[in-house]
Amino acid sequence: MLPKFNVKILKSICIALALTLLTSISMAQTLETVQNVDLTKYAGTWYEIASFPQRFQKGCHCTTATYTLSDKGYVVVENRCNKDSLTGKESYIKGKAFVVKNTGNAKLKVQFFWPFKGDYWIIDLANDYSYAVIGHPNRKYLWILSRTPQLDQTTYEQILARVKETGFDLSKIERTQQKIK
């Protein structure tokens, strides 16, 4: 039998671990997506307004993503950016996005290199499809997109507030430089 002193310590440790586990579970909330996406309206060119920096986008300016519906049932994805400056050399990559069934077209799997696919979840979308927010369930990836190179500050701040509520760490977000036409 354990001495009383050790039993009290053991109970305290167990309670602390239980509270830590419960806190972790509540913080690991499921990332919600929008209910439905009309891919015909979603297709076209989007400008990156802000994102969490990713190694594969290092040095990118004027970043855009263009989505085209394929007659083969997937979405053609074309990402472009100017490297190292607003007028730098254009960098380009083409891939495919596949809709995840029973998600209202809000969850896709994007593939730039076979056999690897990544989650592309539409977590916020303007009713008029003027902006979209793309997130990853691990909350390490985030993109704010707009149909125009700039998004008004009020809308941007409202988006950030909603994104923060879903558990994204906004200290990581960086604005993307875009040419103003």
103-145: pLDDT as tens digits: 999 999 999 988 888 899 999 999 999 999 999 999 999 999 9
Q: List the CATH number of the domain containing 60.
A: 2.40.128.20
**Phi and psi angles of residue 51, each rounded to the nearest 5 degrees, phi first:** -165, 170
The mean-pLDDT minimum among 16-20, 133-137, 148-152 falls in 16-20
Q: Under the phi-then-psi rule, with left for phi > 0, alpha for psi from -120 to 50, and beta for the rest, what region is 128? A: alpha
Task: Confirm if 172 and 138 have CB atoms less than 8 A apart.
Answer: no
| 75 plus 8 within the same structural domain | no
Whether the pLDDT of residue 1 is over 90: the answer is: no
Q: Is residue 153 part of a domain?
A: yes
Residue 59 is predicted with a pLDDT of 72
Which residues, 6 or more positions from 69, have their beta carbon under 8 angstroms from its beta carbon?
A: 39, 40, 43, 75, 76
What is this structure's pTM?
0.81
* Whether residues 52 and 124 fall in one domain: yes
Q: Report the number of distinct structural domains present in the chain.
A: 2
Range of the domain at 10: 1-30
Structural domain includes residue 154: yes
